[in-house]
A = this chain, B = another copy of it.
Amino acid sequence: MSLAPVLAELRALLGDRLSTATAVLAQHGQSESLVSAAPPDAVAFPRSTAEVAALVKICAAHGVPMIGWGAGTSLEGHALARHGGVTVDFREMAAVLEVRAEDMLARVQPGITREALNAELRATGLFFPVDPGANASIGGMTATRASGTAAVRYGTMRDAVLGLEVVLADGRVIRTGSGAPKSSAGYDLTALMVGSEGTLGLITEITLRLQGQPEAVSAATCAFPGIAEAVDCVIATIQTGIPMARIEVLDTATVAACNAYSKTDLPLAPLLLVEFHGSPAAVAEQAERFGEIAAGFGAADFLWAERQEDRNRLWKMRHNAYPAILASRPGARAIITDVCVPISRLAQAVEETRADIAASPIPGPILGHVGDGNFHAILLVNPDDPAEIAAAKGLAARMAARALALGGTITGEHGVGFGKLPLMAAEHGEGWAVMGAIKRALDPRGLMNPGKLVAGA
């Protein structure tokens, strides 16, 4: 099929904000992970919802696939043009449209990153709490149902998104949700679109719940005799009901990688990184209760980060854990796992995973948002060694099967893309067919991010 007619129409709409330059196409054909696809046929940079709607109508008329693009940080190939088509890059739709401090919400465009949003919010006394580590776009985080380090306290994108504007597969524009904190007015289209990975439409505006900046913040690291003790401490802490703002685990291999990459000198042992938010009295009370629980599991080497700059250094180190782990094996690529289990099964899931990796030929440091039951093994492979790739894929498949057997999920926060497509039937059974029926109802020709999330689409 010649794309010349559709590209001509799109160029009439967007001018030089439609690109077919090789470098631009190549940039939008890259992915963090091992999943890969050919670059898109063109990249569009719309500036308004009206332009997105017009673009969708043109592509729909020609049967051309459309793929949304935020910051390019997704981990399962979500934004790759698996069946060609036009990638819609939202970098020119990156504004904060409105901050309503009295209602603790903001309306933003999809291209803004979470760090840029928080920079704009700084003077308001509010912040946007969802923090996946990477400086992802809010549109991408919405489409992937992202979460990260602070979800244990503030929830995931499922909780943070109050409403959306979405351009559907035929160019119609809908608004979901309202400015009210809750509603019972029909199907929850907001929740349906959050996590739909661009397969039901293109998100052009997001209304976000914000949180009040805590009066007091305190963070700490502490070391444990083994990862089992660290995980058991997390379970006990969560079950005690302490409202942890963050509670993260790093295994010894991750700590070693972080020390080398971030020039830190953390003790070489499994660590918990914790943070407390609240009034000064509440933070002190929470920290004391956590300290007592941790001591019972053999915690030592408590390092407190009371000053903002110390906390910034701590969380920058944590956010750089992924490049640190990559750098720990020069030339390696990563297969990143993302299972999530009920908190009561977390120790078993981590311990069995650790033993499985130890028996394999490849390294796989473990870290995670363990307060949510969510952890990752970063499986480091020589991309030219099929045996290592096969070993990593076997480990990842067994982790997923283990998570399902323990009542959990194959992906806590990274999403499906096409990397996790082969696992969806095992998690959802007939429910996956229901997802397919919804996809066909809203996108009968399969033009919105085809080849992702649902079967055969």
Contact = CB atoms under 8 A, between A and B. Distances in A.
Interface string A281-300: 11001000000000000000
Contact of A415 (B158, B184, B343): B184
Interface string A429-448: 11110110110111000000
A77 interface: no
A416 B186 CA distance: 7
B432 A186 contact: yes
A184 B343 contact: no
A300 to B, nearest CB: 26
Interface residues of A, number: 85
A438 to B, nearest CB: 6
Contact of A429 (B175, B408, B409, B430): B175
Interface string A151-183: 100001011000000001000111110111111
A394 interface: no
A251 interface: no
Interface in A88-121: 100, 102-105
A374 B435 CA distance: 33
A138 interface: no
Contact of A191 (B172, B192, B282, B410): B192
Given A168-B434, A174-B428, A186-B428, 18 more contacts: A145-B188, A175-B431, A176-B431, A178-B404, A178-B407, A178-B408, A179-B407, A180-B341, A180-B372, A180-B403, A181-B340, A181-B372, A182-B412, A183-B412, A187-B453, A188-B191, A188-B194, A438-B442
24 contacts: A100-B344, A103-B344, A144-B184, A145-B183, A145-B188, A146-B184, A156-B182, A158-B182, A168-B430, A175-B431, A178-B404, A178-B408, A180-B407, A181-B374, A182-B340, A182-B413, A184-B412, A184-B413, A187-B195, A188-B191, A188-B194, A192-B438, A282-B285, A438-B441
